[in-house]
Amino acid sequence: MKVIVFGATGGTGHAAVQELLDGGHEVTAFSRHADQLGLRSERLRLAPGDARDAGAVERAISGQDAVVVSLGVNDNPLKVRFLHRSNTPTTICSEGTRNIIQAMGKLGVRRLVVVSAFGVGETREKLPWFFKLGYRLIKEQISDKERQEQLVRNSGLDWVIVQPVGLTNGRPLHEVLASTQGEVHHHTIPRSSVGRFLASVVSDDQFLGRTVALSS
């Protein structure tokens, strides 16, 4: 398959690109910093661009079979919350996803896999109290994730929303819990495991139209 990953240079996006390449897919890595991806393959194409640029998004999606969205703000949450400083707009998830959905509808691309976060939307009431405290620091980003998820649910596309718990670095696990009921085992999961799951659902119909809580 030909798969494009938006937010490809973030930790989870990078992991998704790697896993998709390992799975034999042709991958387009879309990011403002695509040249910093640090991966090489004959099946990898770098697409520098901003997801808020509707024209750039449409050009990048043309010819793709599936879309993975891993947009987000990587800046220190304290800096974003109290100093209002961020290299990435706190509306990037909803703005970018809106452009992506519009382009997919226009171009006839159906499969959309979106990375959100556990505790957003359907799993809001399942979030542990200590995560709720942390989410107060990033309330703008969480509100943006809420808007993003609503856009996806209303898109009419073949979508999957993936909600990982707290992200860590490390090697992928042999098994993860993928629950459509919002169940989790542990409250952390390696980004590499999330990337592996994202790569699996681009061609698997099991979770279409569902929100999947992902934990170790």
pLDDT at 77: 53
pLDDT at 86: 63
Among residues 196, 213, 109, which one has the least CA distance to residue 160? 213
Burial of 146 (0-12, 13-18, 19+ CB in 10 A): middle
Task: Report d(CA 11, CA 16) in Å as an integer.
Answer: 9
> Residue-wise pLDDT tens for the chain (216 aa)?
999 999 999 999 999 999 999 999 999 999 999 999 999 999 999 999 999 999 999 999 999 999 999 999 875 554 444 445 567 788 999 999 999 999 999 999 999 999 999 999 989 999 888 778 878 878 889 999 999 999 999 999 999 999 999 999 988 898 999 999 999 999 999 999 999 999 999 999 999 999 999 999
The CATH code for residues 2-215 is 3.40.50.720
Structural domain boundaries in the chain: 2-215
For residues 172 and 190, is the Cβ–Cβ distance under 8 A?
A: yes
pLDDT at 84: 55
pLDDT at 135: 83
Task: Report d(CA 190, CA 176) in Å as an integer.
Answer: 10
pLDDT at 114: 98
